[in-house]
Chain A
Amino acid sequence: MNPRARRATGALVLALAPALVLALWTFGAGAFFAWTLAPQERALLRDWLAPRAAMLLFLGLLLALALGLAVHAAWQRRVAAPARLAERAQAIVAGGGDVAIEPEGSADNRALANAFNALVRQRGERDADIERRVREASREIERQRSRLAALMAELAQSVLVCTLDGRILLYNLRALEQFRTRSDTEAPHPGSELIGLGRSVHDVLDPAPIAHALQTIRLRLQRGDAHPSVQFLTATRDGLLLRTQMVPVQDPEDAQPGRDEGAETAAAATPGATLSGYLLMLEDVTESFADAALRDRTMHELLQGSRASLGNLQAAVEMIDYPDVDDATRERLREVIRAEVRTMNARLHEVAARDAQLQKTRWPLENMPGTDLLAAARRRIETSLRCRVELDAIDAGLWLKVDSFSLLQALAHLAERLVDEYGVRMLRLRLAPAGARAHLDLVWQGLALSTETVTNWETDTMRSGSSASALSVRDVIDRHDGEIWFQRERARHESFFRLLLPVAEASSVLPEANAGAPGAAGAAASRPEYYDFDLFRDTGSARALADRALAELTCTVFDTETTGLDPGGGDRIVQIGAARIVAGKLRRHECFERLVDPQRAVSAASLAIHGIDAARLAGQPRAAQVLPVFHAFARDSVLVGHNAAFDLRFLREAEAEAGVVFDQPVLDTLLLSACVHPQQESHSLEAIAARLGVALSGRHSALGDALVTAEIFLKLIPLLEARGIRTLRQALEAAQRTWHARLRY
């Protein structure tokens, strides 16, 4: 019986109760009264009452009805209304709704309802307030994170943040590049980085100096040293010389709970505060060391060589004037002079060439797209001067090697002189390649400058607006090993300053610049993720791999393209592509993609699928060279593939030759998909992608397919969890059970 029906029954019983009580009382009292009477008196009373029975019954019923109504009304006010109020309140507590309660019933009850309403309103406001604050706080955190990420990305130094056991939590682009160029014995190859989130820093740096530095930091922390960072010099396996600064990262969570913030800050500096990791700032000093050595040697050779030559010259010149020198001797002395002049000339040329090389490395010049520099110059000039700036004839692919700060200062200085002293209101910036250099022109209409003016502007210390510099435009230009001059083009009635600037070598330009590789488009569109602070929370590295949650696994999602479908019949791999999943996120910037020379023809059927023809494979490394690199890439991770058995079979065929074994656990998205959707007919990559809403891109390139597979795998994880498959062990067992597992290649 539901509460409502129970209450209705209660109300009915209550309304009938007065009638029942009245009837019982009348009957009982009548019986008792009759019992006290003599028989003749009883007969008399009956005679007297009998004719009036109907009227008496009616009066009795009337009384019962009136009492019943009164009781019902009282019950409604005193019992039902509070009960309803309680119910509404419970509903609000449970459902979180904030609908106002209609006040009803007695005055007390109405007051109670109003009080409830006030409470509900207050709660609503508080909830909204908390929600707003949480939103603001997370926005602020997000802002700080992206600021930090942007800062890291732009730093000229390599930065790595690691846990105590050497797992990388954060790295910047520079670190990625630094270790990529030396990450394997073949030619530098983007796409086989040894730096990656969750990877070990010991793969690229010698663990011994790191351990030593950590020990030193611990000692300094115990002593309460205010600056416990340590500097050391370390050489990598490939002969890279790195100046390394280690800064401790301390764990604020280990501070005693309940303390106020001031106390926590103090705790961070107290001796014995827990060290949770460290930050490494790495600077490649290989070249500066080599430079210094070269400079020393040059100086030495110049001094010694010149001294010898000068000595020979002096002797010859002195002797040639002796009156008793015969003609033959004089001619020999002349030959000595000529030879020494030739030697000194040659030496000077050599030193000059070396010096030019050293000049270039002395100042830290950055690679920068020319368009960015010009846009920045325009912003700077337009915000500080009453002058419009147009960008003109810019070669968009041109990268400059510049110190953008001082160069912008120089451009602003020249622009300000033109605007202030000659009333120029309109400037144009023009950039064009010129051989190994680039012309950056600051152009205006008409109005030639005298050479004196040009010289003054060039050699005065720079000022623009309120900021002044100790350098002159000439200094800035010298720093770039460039030139500047003023030029007129009479036909076009144009004047301009031409800055001759160095351009960046193509090989040193950032990888983002050359889009077009499979998968690169997608990667370029999304924000690079070089950091993941979630990794700070150690998700139980002590726990056995098999019992780790799928979402926590570090995975290498891979795919191969092959010469055909029959590995047993001699078909081979032509391409391996892979992407990493760390801490539940696809790391699009940590990819692997390599072509492999299969040393046999690609079958027509396979060529039609992946389009990798003999021309592209010519000169590529063989499987024996590529597999060890891929093995290193996949170290300490779970392999994930779509129909992985197929790809694995090909890997196995090449293992012996390459001297590596892929013995890590393997998950197959085909089988996992079949676990989740057993009723579906197709578990092809396309069908699953369509079902799970994964966009297909770059299909039938190994990396493209690997990326699609990775996204599918991430979408499968929550679906598997819903079926109680959470850990790697459970996933492997579930896959085994699936009937697809019986397929064998």
Chain B
Amino acid sequence: MTRRVLIADDEPNIVIPLEYLMKREGYEVLLARDGDEALAAIRRERPDLVLLDVMMPGRSGFEVCQTVRADEALAGVRIVLLTAKGRDADVAKGLALGADAYVTKPISTRELAVRVRELLEGGS
């Protein structure tokens, strides 16, 4: 079965390469442009993994992450937080709120692909 990945980010310049990358890895890709859209998509589509930007209009990535983790029905969804905030305090917060990984921009596409593959294979 094809794995499904949701990319939630408001910046098209990062969405374009990410979408290409994920498709190239053989995943089915869904898109969301802000926090609320992302949450709705997650509830509706139950993706296997979300690439979640922290700084989004509306709900922040932190909020979306916490909401998802509060919902038992969505327990299987893997969450990778993407952010330009690189402080260790942000990393600690993201992991405390239930993210599976925390990736700081700028992103090396190769590394990101490896992390996503690990998460999807390890969690199946």
Question: Are A483 and B93 in touch, CB under 8 angstroms?
Answer: yes
Q: How many residues belonging to A are interface residues under a CB distance threshold of 8 Å?
A: 22
* Contacts known (A345-B106, A451-B59, A451-B63); A485 close to B89, Cβ less than 8 A: no
Question: Which of A341, A451, A486, A500 contacts B89 (CB under 8 A)?
Answer: A500
- The listed residue (A356, A436, A451, A487) touching B87 by CB distance below 8 A is A356
Chain B nearest CB, measured from A212 CB (Å)? 46
The verdict on A548 contacting chain B, using a C-beta distance below 8 Å, is: no
Chain B, range 59-75, C-beta contacts under 8 Å to A: 59-60, 62-63, 66-67, 70
Q: Report 25 cross-chain contacts, Cβ distance below 8 Å, ordered by A residue.
A: A341-B106, A345-B106, A356-B87, A437-B92, A448-B70, A451-B59, A451-B63, A451-B66, A451-B67, A452-B63, A455-B60, A455-B63, A481-B87, A481-B89, A483-B90, A483-B92, A483-B93, A484-B93, A485-B62, A485-B93, A485-B97, A486-B66, A498-B96, A500-B89, A500-B93
Collect the chain B residues with CB atoms within 8 Å of residue A341's CB: 106
Complex Cα–Cα for A455 and B66 (A): 12
**Across the interface, which residues of A come within 8 angstroms of B63, CB to CB?**
451-452, 455
Q: Does B86 contact A (CB under 8 A)?
A: yes
A interface residue numbers (CB < 8 A to B): 341, 345, 348, 352, 356, 434, 436-437, 448, 451-452, 455, 481-488, 498, 500
State the total of A-B contacts with C-beta under 8 angstroms. Answer: 38
User: How many angstroms between the C-alpha atoms of A204 and B90 in the bound complex?
Assistant: 44
Give the residues in chain B near A481, CB-CB below 8 Å: 87, 89
Alpha-carbon separation in the docked complex, A498 to B59 (Å): 20
Chain A: CB-nearest residue to B92: A500
Task: Name the A residues within 8 Å of B89 (CB-CB).
Answer: 437, 481-483, 500
The 8 Å CB contact of B96, one of A348, A436, A487, is A487
Interface residues of B in 82-124 (CB under 8 A from A): 86-90, 92-93, 96-97, 106
Instruction: For the complex, give the distance between the alpha carbons of A352 and B84 in Å.
Output: 11
Near A by CB (< 8 A), chain B positions 32-49 give none
Give the chain B neighbours of A485 by CB distance below 8 A: 62, 66, 93, 96-97
- Number of B residues near A (Cβ < 8 Å) is 17
9 pairs of A and B residues whose beta carbons are closest in the complex = A483-B89, A451-B63, A483-B93, A485-B93, A500-B89, A451-B66, A482-B89, A451-B67, A345-B106
What's the minimum C-beta distance from B50 to chain A, rounded to whole angstroms? 16
A439–chain B nearest beta-carbon distance, Å: 9
CB distance from A438 to the nearest CB of B (A): 12
| Residues in chain A near residue B96, CB distance under 8 A | 485, 487, 498
Q: How far is the CA of A481 from the CA of B88 in the complex (A)?
A: 10
> Which residues on A sit within 8 Å (CB–CB) of B86?
352
Contacts of B66 in A (CB 8 A): 451, 485-486
- Quick one: closest A residue to B67, CB to CB? A451
| Closest chain B CB from A286 CB (angstroms) | 26
A356 to B60, CA, bound (A): 23
Q: What's the minimum C-beta distance from A379 to chain B, rounded to whole angstroms?
A: 28
* Least CB separation from B108: chain A residue: A345
Q: How many Å from the CB of A452 to the closest CB on chain B?
A: 8
CA gap between A455 and B96 in the complex, in Å: 16
Docked pose: A487 CA to B70 CA in angstroms: 10
**A4, B101: Cα distance in complex, Å:** 110
Minimal Cβ-Cβ distance residue in A for B62? A485
Residues of the A chain whose Cβ atoms lie less than 8 Å from the Cβ of B97: 485, 487
Give Cα distance in the complex from A448 to B71, angstroms. 13
Q: With the chains together, A554 CA to B48 CA distance in Å?
A: 79
Complex CA–CA separation, A481 to B97 (angstroms): 18
Contacts of B106 in A (CB 8 A): 341, 345, 348
B90 cross-chain contacts in A, Cβ below 8 A? 483
Bound complex: CA A452 to CA B92 (Å): 21
B92 — which chain A residues lie within 8 A by C-beta? 434, 437, 483, 500
Cα(A534)–Cα(B63), bound, Å: 63
Interface centre among A341, A451, A500 (most CB of B within 10 A): A451
Residues of B within 8 Å of A452, CB to CB, are 63
Question: Which A residues touch B62, using CB under 8 A?
Answer: 485
| Shortest distance between the CB of B55 and any CB in chain A (Å) | 14
CB distance from A454 to the nearest CB of B (A): 8
Q: Tell me, rounded to whole Å, the shortest Cβ–Cβ distance linking B95 to chain A.
A: 11
Closest residue of chain B to A455, judged by CB? B63
Apart from A345-B106, A356-B87: 13 A-B pairs, beta carbons within 8 A = A341-B106, A352-B86, A436-B88, A448-B70, A482-B89, A483-B90, A485-B62, A485-B96, A486-B66, A488-B70, A498-B96, A500-B92, A500-B93
